[in-house]
Amino acid sequence: MAYVALADREPELSHPHSFITKYIWSQDHKVIAIQYGLTAIAVGVVALILSVMMRLQLGFPDSFSLISPSEYYQFVTMHGMIMVIYLLTALFLGGFGNYLIPLMVGARDMVFPYLNMLSYWVYLLSVIILMASFFVTGGPTGAGWTLYPPQAIMFGTPGVEAGIVLMLASLAVFIVAFTMGGLNYVTTVLQARTHGMTLMRMPLSVWGIFTATVLGLLAFPALLVSAIMMTFDRLLGTSFFMPAIVSMGEQSAYDGGSPILFQHLFWFFGHPEVYIVALPAFGIVSDLLSTHARKNIFGYRMMVWAIVGIGGLSFIVWAHHMYVSGMNPYFGFFFATTTLIIAIPTAIKVYNWVLTLWQGNIHLTVPMLFAIGFIFTFVHGGLTGIFLGNVVVDLPLSDTYFVIAHFHMVMGVSPILVVFGAIYHWYPKMTGRMYNERLGQTHFWMTFLGTYAIYLPMHYLGFLGVPRRYFAYEGIEFIPESAQDLNAAITIAAIFVAFTQIIFFANMIWSLFKGKKAGSNPWGSTSLEWQTPNTPPIHGNWGDELPKVYRWAYDYSVPGAEKDFIPQNTPPSDKAPETNT
Amino acid sequence: MIAVLIFMTAAVAISYWWLWKQKILEQPWLTEGTAVDNRDSTNLAGKSAKSGLFVFLAVVTSIFSLFISAYFMRMNLNDWLPVDEPRLLWGNTGVLALGSIAIHWTARAANNDSIATVRYGLIATGIFTSLFILGQWVAWQELVDQGHYLQSNPAATFFYLFTGLHGIHLLGGLWVWLKTTLKVLAGQNAEQTILSVELCRNYWHYLLVVWLCLFALLLST
Ligand code: HEM
Ligand SMILES: [Cu+2]
């Protein structure tokens, strides 16, 4: 096993010089991070366009005939899958994980840089396979992002010819890529922390990303296993998930399999996946709030315990997605209980964020706005989650727009707000330049208010019983006419939000060339990534000597200190150290 | 989902225990200076590779325990017809155990700086392991001859799936074994081989345990 020894005490990196080895086949975690990030954002834009197409259909069913019912299913599926896996998972772990972990723990690079590079290229392959499914006979699969059998592989579902096979293959390839990256993130945190960087001195961003990676490593296998078994059923005619079934008037060759088995496997992955996306967001948002409120994070230890506690609990709540599958009521009771228990550490985190802001010296910078916006949307989505966690409430609301509103709030909008906040926050470090403040503020307000305009009304549609995954609602008697007006309004808001993102991209690109020089630590941050000798940091990160860490990452506004922050690598002063509680 | 829940409980318990040992209760805002950190920073590459492998094996265990969970759940449905496992599997098991012993012996030799023994040990490991894989292949043929095809019955499907998956992991191990062996034959000295050989040893032992679990499961049901 010829792993390259890295993150070592001596800077023994190879320093590539040609453009290709520096930016394409790069083993530098920062370049890989940016490759991951750009690819994820590019597919994310595809998913966004798909959602606008769906919204046009839903809002103005008679004016546009851009898509057919089959295409609607296909777009729903691809939109959901891309957003959850290929955008958010890849961006938080492959993007921010890669960029931040080595810098924040004071390492020169990931411990297995070659594997890390491979991880990106395999991820890109999975994206290509996924996108290829748009161009095969029958198009991409329309099975819904949950891919439930039997319909996922039965004739009648769009994309059953090749789309579903490509989807399963792409997921398997993605999991391989994720595992290669994940081994790196975990091992780097375990082994390559610099001197003085104990676990309890790590910034919460690292804690969030680290725990999410562990969850991913343990949970993605469930998706892999179900993908393998479904591929067998589809291609080799086995009957893991497929019951005896009549298709197109004929008895199919399948016999005796269990669709519920798939649901268990899928959600055993699916629920932790929510936290794979949420925990990095939790961590990052804690750091943004603390930095921009110039205050130490409230209850650091509780924040850490909550992260690892949520990580453990997230494996015993999966069946709250299956209340409608006809399960034993005692199971329903059990899973409702665990679901409510997991709300406790989550609520603690929310209180701590708010208490961090309390009496802070709040700078309403763009990252801070996004972080505060996150608190709103997350509380909102979290509260509806508590409702849905109860069996009796979930049964009538299941598969309605209430569910759509809930999960978009909690795992769509909230993490995306953190992604934006994080991009604005670390942009000066990644590029050496400052973004345009005015455009950033505009982007925040339009996105934040716009997404509320999209999702708040959906709760009411859900109460009316408007079902999700429907192409059109004509002739459904219990849905009043006025629901259509609401749908039209939602669509207008969605288009507005989609176009708002142009401001973001314009700002990022423009500032790359024309932005003010940022300096190495524009926010006055304590954590190590802001203390690099070069900005943007060069290959190897730290010059000749690794930084030494003397304190935790939250020494803001320490009484008696000369500045309002003390970087982690500042040695203790001679006088008796002041403590700030 | 019993099997995977047992595994998850173990994984979570080990993680929490480890975190506990890492002083997760300490109040980081009260401690300044570097004295709090008493990790030893020698041989980082070796330690990273070993903990990387450990984490990887946790992933693989997750995969196997999920398949086993699926096995138990599928088994309870009424179209399940148990398969008679070929007697040959007993022999294969013995051969795989010999492979594990050989690699263990090799690792010990590498640490004792006797490169000649390392060479023999590696070759023996390769032979036993390849024999095992060959044996599994023959066992598959026997099943096919008895009329148990992949899709004929869920029990047979799982048999192929388990053995195939385990075999693929061994093949992956053999790839690393091949690279190591080629380097040794090209004249590497014993010290340089320690890390690779020890990683192989851990992996082989792990796969032996997995096989014993799978075999016991197949026999008992
Ligand atoms: C402006 C942004 C977005 C808009 C306008 C939007 C719109 C939609 C629409 C119209 C649907 C289909 C509803 C249905 O017919 O059932 C949908 C489904 C979905 N969306 Fe979004 N979405 C957005 C962002 C996101 C994000 C960021 C995520 C990330 C988690 C996400 C995840 C999902 C999922 C998982 C589904 C379910 C797919 C399925 O039913 O199989 N969406 N979205
Ligand atoms: Cu869930």
Asked whether the predicted pLDDT for residue A133 surpasses 90, the reply is yes
Q: How much is the pLDDT for A1?
A: 32
Among candidates B34, B47, B179 on the partner chain, residue whose Cβ is nearest the Cβ of A548: B34
- CB–CB of A56/A64 below 8 Å? yes
**Ligand 1, atom 12, residue with closest C-alpha:** A76
Give the model's confidence band at A17: pLDDT under 50 very low, under 70 low, under 90 confident, else very high.
low
**Ligand 1, atom 2, residue with closest C-alpha:** A48
Residues in a beta bridge with B186: none
**SS3 of residue A251 by DSSP:** strand
Question: Does residue A204 belong to the interface with chain B, where contact is any CB pair within 8 Å?
Answer: no
**Phi and psi dihedrals of A400, rounded to 5?**
-115, 180
Q: Is A145 in the pocket of ligand 1 (CB under 6 A)?
A: yes
| pLDDT tens digit sequence for A462-483 | 999 999 999 998 888 899 989 9
Distance from the alpha carbon of residue A456 to the mean position of ligand 2, in angstroms: 21
Q: How much is the pLDDT for A247?
A: 82
Which of A112, A213, A225, A245 to substitute to test the interface with B, most B CBs within 10 Å? A225
Q: Which two tokens stand for residue A180?
A: 């290669």
Q: Atom of ligand 1 at shortest distance to CA of A450?
A: 1
Query: How many other C-beta atoms lie within 10 A of the C-beta of residue A42?
Result: 13
Q: What's the rounded mean pLDDT across residues A368-382?
A: 97
User: Cα dist. A383→A310, A483, B6 in Å?
Assistant: 17, 24, 31
Question: Does residue B37 belong to the interface with chain A, where contact is any CB pair within 8 Å?
Answer: yes
Q: What's the rounded mean pLDDT across residues B135-143?
A: 95
Asked whether the predicted pLDDT for residue A576 surpasses 80, the reply is no
Percent of chain B at pLDDT exceeding 90: 73
Give the model's confidence band at A513: pLDDT under 50 very low, under 70 low, under 90 confident, else very high.
very high
Asked whether the predicted pLDDT for residue A10 surpasses 50, the reply is no
Q: What's the rounded mean pLDDT across residues B22-33?
A: 86
Q: How much is the pLDDT for A578?
A: 47
**SS3 of residue A581 by DSSP:** coil
| pLDDT tens digit sequence for A378-423 | 999 999 999 999 999 999 999 999 999 999 999 999 999 999 999 9
Determine the Cα–Cα distance for residues A82 and A135; give it in Å rounded to an integer: 17
Asked whether the predicted pLDDT for residue A438 surpasses 90, the reply is yes
Q: How much is the pLDDT for A224?
A: 97
**Ligand 1, atom 22, residue with closest C-alpha:** A51
Q: What mean pLDDT, rounded, does chain B reach?
A: 92
**Ligand 1, atom 20, residue with closest C-alpha:** A80
Q: How much is the pLDDT for A266?
A: 97
Question: Does residue A581 belong to the interface with chain B, where contact is any CB pair within 8 Å?
Answer: yes
Distance from the alpha carbon of residue A310 to the mean position of ligand 2, in angstroms: 12
Q: How much is the pLDDT for A574?
A: 55
Closest-CA residue of chain B to A310: B12
Distance from the alpha carbon of residue A83 to the mean position of ligand 1, in angstroms: 8
Give the model's confidence band at A13: pLDDT under 50 very low, under 70 low, under 90 confident, else very high.
low
Q: Atom of ligand 1 at shortest distance to CA of A468?
A: 16
Among A205, A182, A223, A239, residue whose Cα is nearest residue A84: A223
Determine the Cα–Cα distance for residues A547 and B214; give it in Å rounded to an integer: 48
Determine whether domain B2-220 maps to CATH 1.20.120.80. Answer: yes
Report CB contact under 8 Å: A200, B22.
yes
Determine the Cα–Cα distance for residues B151 and B160; give it in Å rounded to an integer: 10
Among candidates A179, A201, A258 on the partner chain, residue whose Cβ is nearest the Cβ of B28: A201
CA angle at A254 for the pair A252 and A256, rounded to the nearest 5°: 130
**SS3 of residue A247 by DSSP:** strand
Give me the DSSP letters along A374-420.
Answer: HHHHHHHHHHHHHHHTSHHHHHHHTTBHHHHHHHIIIIIIHHHHHHH
Give me the DSSP letters along A357-382.
Answer: HTT------HHHHHHHHHHHHHHHHH
Q: Which two tokens stand for residue B79?
A: 């179209």
Q: What's the rounded mean pLDDT across residues A11-33?
A: 77
Residues 53-92 of B with CB under 8 A from A: 55-56, 58-59, 62-63, 66-67, 69-70, 73-74, 77-80
Report CB contact under 8 Å: A198, B51.
no
* Chain B: closest CA distance from residue A248 (Å): 22
Determine the Cα–Cα distance for residues A73 and A86; give it in Å rounded to an integer: 19
Question: Does residue B111 belong to the interface with chain A, where contact is any CB pair within 8 Å?
Answer: no
Q: Is A497 in the pocket of ligand 1 (CB under 6 A)?
A: yes
Q: What's the rounded mean pLDDT across residues A531-539?
A: 92
Report CB contact under 8 Å: B29, A217.
no
Please provide the size of chain B in residues.
Answer: 221
Question: Does residue B195 belong to the interface with chain A, where contact is any CB pair within 8 Å?
Answer: yes
Give the model's confidence band at B189: pLDDT under 50 very low, under 70 low, under 90 confident, else very high.
confident
Report CB contact under 8 Å: B15, A214.
yes
Q: Which ligand is nearest to the CA of A45?
A: 1
Give the model's confidence band at A327: pLDDT under 50 very low, under 70 low, under 90 confident, else very high.
confident
Q: Is A417 in the pocket of ligand 1 (CB under 6 A)?
A: no
Q: How much is the pLDDT for A65?
A: 80
Determine the Cα–Cα distance for residues A202 and A52; give it in Å rounded to an integer: 40
Reported as half-sphere exposure (CB side, CA atoms, 13 A), residue A545 has a value of 5
* Chain B: closest CA distance from residue A216 (Å): 9
Element (H, E) at A246: strand A246-247
Instruction: Tell me how many residue pairs between chain A and chain B have CB atoms under 8 A apart.
Output: 183
Q: How much is the pLDDT for A15?
A: 62
Give me the DSSP letters along A105-142.
Answer: HT-SS-S-HHHHHHHHHHHHHHHHHHHHGGGSTT-S--
Q: What mean pLDDT, rounded, does chain A reach?
A: 92
Distance from the alpha carbon of residue A396 to the mean position of ligand 2, in angstroms: 17
Determine the Cα–Cα distance for residues A86 and A286; give it in Å rounded to an integer: 24
Question: Does residue A524 belong to the interface with chain B, where contact is any CB pair within 8 Å?
Answer: no
Asked whether the predicted pLDDT for residue A575 surpasses 80, the reply is no
Q: How much is the pLDDT for A213?
A: 97
Q: Which two tokens stand for residue A381?
A: 């989505």
Q: What's the rounded mean pLDDT across residues A175-195?
A: 96
Ligand 1: which of A57, A71, A72, A79 to mutate, judged by most atoms within 8 Å of the beta carbon? Answer: A79
Q: How much is the pLDDT for A16?
A: 62
Asked whether the predicted pLDDT for residue A12 surpasses 70, the reply is no
Distance from the alpha carbon of residue A87 to the mean position of ligand 2, in angstroms: 19
Give the model's confidence band at A443: pLDDT under 50 very low, under 70 low, under 90 confident, else very high.
very high
| pLDDT tens digit sequence for A275-307 | 999 999 999 999 999 999 999 999 999 999 999
**Ligand 1, atom 19, residue with closest C-alpha:** A80
Q: Which residue has better confidence, A3 or B27?
A: B27
Which of B56, B59, B76, B168 to substitute to test the interface with A, most A CBs within 10 Å? B59
Query: How many other C-beta atoms lie within 10 A of the C-beta of residue A364?
Result: 11
Asked whether the predicted pLDDT for residue A364 surpasses 70, the reply is yes
Q: How much is the pLDDT for A5?
A: 37
Report CB contact under 8 Å: A197, B28.
no
Ramachandran bin of B47, using left for φ above 0, alpha for ψ from -120 to 50, beta for the remaining angles: alpha
Determine the Cα–Cα distance for residues A188 and A108; give it in Å rounded to an integer: 10
**Ligand 1, atom 35, residue with closest C-alpha:** A80
| pLDDT tens digit sequence for B39-97 | 877 888 899 999 999 999 999 999 999 999 999 999 988 888 888 889 999 999 999 99
Q: How much is the pLDDT for A23?
A: 81
